[in-house]
Structure 1
Amino acid sequence: MRILKYILLLVLLFFIGLSVFVSTQKANYDISRSKVIKTQKATVYNYVNDFKNWETFSSWIVDDKGTQLNYSNRTIGKNSFITWDGTDSDGKVTTLSFKQNDSISQKMISNGEEASITWKFKDTVGGTKVTLISLGKLDFKSKILAFFNGGIKSTVEDVYAKTLENLDKTLDFELNTFNIKVNAIVNRPGGFYLKQSITCKEKSVAKNLKIMIPKMELFFKKNNIVSTGKPFVIYNKYDKTNDIIGLSVCIPVRDSLRFSPGSDIEWANMLPFTAVKTTLTGDRSHTQKAWAKTFDFINKQKLVRNPSQQVIEIYRKGVEDEKQPSKWVTEIYVPVLPKVVPRKPTYSKPKDSTSVAKPATPLEETVNP
């Protein structure tokens, strides 16, 4: 019994000493971790800036498969946010400010503790140098856990080191794994749709689509409008010489709808048309390659572009359906004039043994899809 009392006393003294030691340690931390990501700066910045992508690289989300995520309606830019509720942690990250392709400033609250996060992006040999800086303060419980895991700095650094490692792997594989297939010449059916149109520079197309598509989907939800298909984009104007891109973000509907004058949402009707269909499986950053392959097919087949119709992109599978960009599906339709083929001359059966039918006039018909 005396030995047991001594052991209990030693254990008690150990915890008292540990508590005193931990309480005297600095709770504030200032962490900075960097890694060279083998991807161009604009791509890395845009990927990090969209909270929809965080579950693919944020270590505290990746490591907890049961984490429930929620997002702001707009997931990029100032005041956008992500919240999570997992087995080991819960919290929220909000974007406070940003400088395009340069830096992002955010506030994180994790298990009740607040910290500031700054992302910095810099061109370097081999890709982009991404630096993740965090300033924060741990409570007593977190200081205890940090003590048994190598200290405050080591604990927080490990989280951010894993995050940057995940980001590198994700961007290297997910964004660079893609497949382009020119399917066939098809007859694309028409239909009603709602659209919102803008004009912008080519470099702003991807950014604007990330804003406009969720905005359009939210409009449908708020107004109880039923869609009949996936979102798509019509490229009304593509002037590379003057860097002017006119586009409409669209969602198909079953019936005609009317809106008050001045609304930026319009109803329209698409007529059926013939087009070359190409399917891109992978991240949408490869759409220009898919366009190029489509135009090459058109030239080789000696097809003629239809000037009365515009190119459209249908987003069959995106971030809402599949978190891995390598599995996204985009269909591209480039309108062409119907290809015609002459029908072989046919002869009717003679009415009697003394008369012979004349050859029928050759007919033209549209090639079936």
Structure 2
Amino acid sequence: MKIFKYLLFLSLIFIIGASIYIATKDGKFQVERTLMMEAPREIIFNEVNDFTTWKNWEPWSQETDDMIINYGEKTTGEGASYSWQSEKMGDGKMRTINAKPHSSLQQELTFITPFGESTSEVYWEFEPQGDSTLVKWGMMGEQTFMEKAAFIFQDESLAEMMQPMFSKGLNNLQEEITVKMNSYTINIDGITQHGGGYYMYITTASKISQVSDRMEKMVTEVGNFMATNNIEQVGKPFILYNEWNEDQGTAIYSAAYFTPSEVVTTTESSILNGFMPNQRTLKTTLKGDYKNLKEAWDSSYAYLQKNGLKAAENAKAFEVYITGPKDNANPAEWITNIYIPLEQVIENRND
């Protein structure tokens, strides 16, 4: 009996000692990973700011098939929330408590366990670096008594265990955004009558490979000239192709805006006035990056050939930029209309 009491006393001392050791052990932790992503920060921020997209790239739900996700009434911005349940990954919830558009996010992460709830702070920072963005994803908090007790017997700390998951999540996020940015559609809208009209324009010649880079500056130059001279712009900017030589790899093209009527300028300028006739055209719509324009043009000409239509020899094909980089950072949302003037149809009449 004395031996039993002695062992019980030693066990009690051990438990008290272990409890004191665990209680006094520093439970603060911080996990942080960064990745340079090839995308504008607006796109990355919007992806992370929307909880409905997290299932596409965060690593935890991808490692189990039993996760049930429930979204709050709000899923973006401050006050947005969602929760999950999983036997393998556990239960939890997250809420956005601060959102600075395109710059940073601060979120509250809560794990729900049989021993109670554990809350940590999750933070995101998005720093533009030229055409790319330095993305920082981190989590900081303090472990509960039971969590500290559990990790005493682990070879790795909580931070060391979480770091690979954060790295994987950032890589998944980059892949998801790349796929979304590269998505595009080409639609042959069919034959339509384009009203034409007077327009202000500037013309240049360059290698075909330089067209995309130059056209934005040219459109801006025409727009600034019209604004300075109080000339009204009608519709969206467009590029008029005067000559396109695939063999030599060169092009002559004009950037322009339509005007309500003919404009006669009194000062010498490289910005000129032109006129486009009302004409029958094949219209094609590209929704996506400008790098897909060649495929859209090829699809348009293939449609002409398949349907026995012929492009007008002396008319100039053109592109109208409905939305672009100034409207949306995501190239997948850019909309460009292509117009190819067609030969006039001559009807045969029997008298």
Report the TM-score when normalising by structure 2.
0.55
Q: 1:252 aligns with which of 240, 247, 258?
A: 258
**CA 1:195 to 1:87, structure 2 compared with 1: closer, same or farther past 3 Å?**
farther
1:260-297 C-alpha deviation (Å, 9 max, x unpaired) = 55523222111222322222233332221121122122
Equivalent runs, 1:169-180 vs 2, <5 Å:
169-180=176-187
Change beyond 3 A, Cα 1:161–1:57:
farther
Counterpart residue type for residue 179 of structure 1: I
| 2:234 is aligned with 1:228 | yes
RMSD value, Cα: 4.7
- Does the 8 Å contact 2:198/2:261 carry over to 1? yes
**Structure 2 residue aligned with 1:296, among 291, 302, 312?**
302
Residue 195 of structure 1 contacts residue 248 of structure 1 at CA under 8 Å; is this kept in 2? yes
Equivalent in the alignment of 1:212: 218
Residue of structure 1 equivalent to 2:147: none
| Other-structure match for 2:83 | none
Q: 1:33 aligns with which of 27, 32, 35?
A: 35
Q: Distance in 2 between matches of 1:34 and 1:318?
A: 24
| 1:64-87, Cα deviation, whole Å (9 max, x unpaired) | 9569xxxxxxxxxxxxxxxxxx95
Structure 1 residue 310, shift from structure 2 partner:
0.8
Question: Deviation of residue 148 (structure 1)?
Answer: 6.4
2:225–2:271 contact (8 Å) kept in structure 1: no
2:209 aligns with 203
Q: 1:173 offset after TM fit, Å?
A: 2.5
Q: Deviations over 1:243-276 (max 9, x none)?
A: 1121111111112223355523222111222322
Q: In the alignment, what sits opposite 1:55?
A: 42
* Residue 61 of structure 1, CA deviation: 8.0
CA contact 2:236–2:320 (8 Å) conserved in 1: yes
**Residue 306 of structure 1 corresponds to which residue in structure 2?**
312
Q: Find the aligned partners of 2:47 and 2:339 in 1 and give their Cα distance.
A: 40
Contact 1:303/1:339 (<8 A) preserved: no
The 8 Å contact of residues 239 and 318 in structure 2, kept in 1 or not, is answered as yes
What SS class does the counterpart of residue 194 from structure 1 fall into? strand
State the one-letter code of the partner of 2:35: R
Structure 1 partner of 2:199:
193
C-alpha contact 1:259 1:265 (8 A) present in aligned 2: no
Question: Within 2, Cα distance between the matches of 1:239 and 1:148?
Answer: 66
* 2:281 alignment partner in structure 1: 275
Distance (whole Å) between structure 2 residues aligned to residue 239 and residue 197 of structure 1: 16
2: distance between equivalents of 1:322 and 1:311? 26
- One-letter identity of the residue aligned with 1:33: L
Task: Give unpaired runs (5+ residues) of structure 1.
Answer: 1-13, 23-28, 36-44, 68-85, 93-112, 121-131, 137-142, 346-369
* Aligned equivalents of 2:176, 2:339: Cα separation in 1: 32
Equivalent runs, 1:7-156 vs 2, <5 Å:
33=35, 48=39, 54-58=41-45, 62=49, 87-89=98-100, 117=129
Q: Is the 8 A contact 2:286 2:335 kept in 1?
A: yes
- Residue pair 1:195, 1:267 contacting (<8 A) in 2 also: yes
Larger gyration radius, structure 1 or structure 2: 2
Alignment of 1:158-169 (within 5 A): 165-169=172-176
The DSSP-based 3-state class of the residue aligned with 1:225 is coil
The residue type paired with residue 43 of structure 2 is: T
Alpha-carbon separation, structure 2, partners of 1:169 and 1:295: 33
Per-residue deviation, 1:192: 0.9
Which region of structure 1 is more displaced relative to structure 2, 289-298 or 232-241?
289-298
Letter in 2 for 1:172: V
- Supply the distance in 2 between the matched residues of 1:118 and 1:189 (Cα, whole angstroms): 40
Deviations 1:146-203 (A, max 9, x none): 676998xx99x96x9877654432331342231322412x332221111122222222
Identity %: 19
Q: TM-score, normalised by structure 1?
A: 0.53
Once the two structures are superposed, residues 52-105 of structure 1 have per-residue CA deviations (whole angstroms, 9 ceiling, x without a partner) of xx31124798469569xxxxxxxxxxxxxxxxxx9544898xxxxxxxxxxxxx
Distance 1:317 1:191, change over 3 A: same
Residues of 2 paired with 1:340 and 1:254: CA distance?
A: 31
Secondary structure at the aligned position of 1:337 is classed as coil
Cα pair 1:180 1:279 within 8 Å, conserved: yes
Aligned residues: 254
**Partner deviation per Cα, 1:120-151 (whole Å, 9 max, x = no partner):** 8xxxxxxxxxxx769x9xxxxxx9x9676998
